[in-house]
Structure 1
């Protein structure tokens, strides 16, 4: 799975003008399931994210996790994280998992975060979403479960 994390002071996702998910201080997480990913991959990624020290401590150093700060998460599916730009000028997305598998893994990932004690909301899988955020820092982290 691939994930792009943004530390935010707030974030929300709207579909057709209606807010479907939001987060206060915490993380906006764009996630993409890849071929070969399974529920274990989703759970491992959620656990990794829950422990990443991306939030400032009292000394101003990034030394606290989302669990330690009580932050929330907004999880948004984004198949474009699988973009292949190696040929031509139009990205290819054949490296993303198929829609049915991707939706199941996306929802399992979000539930895994919630099961770890992180208040979690989501966007709407496959919808045309408008995502709004205030990036805190800015802090943006790229994770790929297949990276060595």
Structure 2
């Protein structure tokens, strides 16, 4: 017989850790237009140089890092009483129903909002396979 030797408090701690991790993933909006896909992500407080966008034939991977300020304490030397800011790295991937044109992808970052435009691939490759007896 299998017994679970975990206190309910341990379960709450695991849940809190999962929620903290989930909060690091930015909110996204993906739109399917006639010519391509437009992905918008909220990235407040993220430096433009830390954003990385990579593409394959049908997917897009966006990653970034939000770094903590150099001085953790304020000008008076006091530590924060409460801090709900999240720092660290994260990565999101998006897979599209049709291929994308990797060379035509553009990305703009302004006012904490990253907008990536990925045009749809114009040529679709298909292969005919002969069935042998």
TM-score category (smaller protein): under 0.3
Give the structure with the higher percent strand: 1
Structure of greater relative contact order (alpha carbons < 8 Å, 6+ residues apart): 1
Give the structure with the higher percent helix: 1
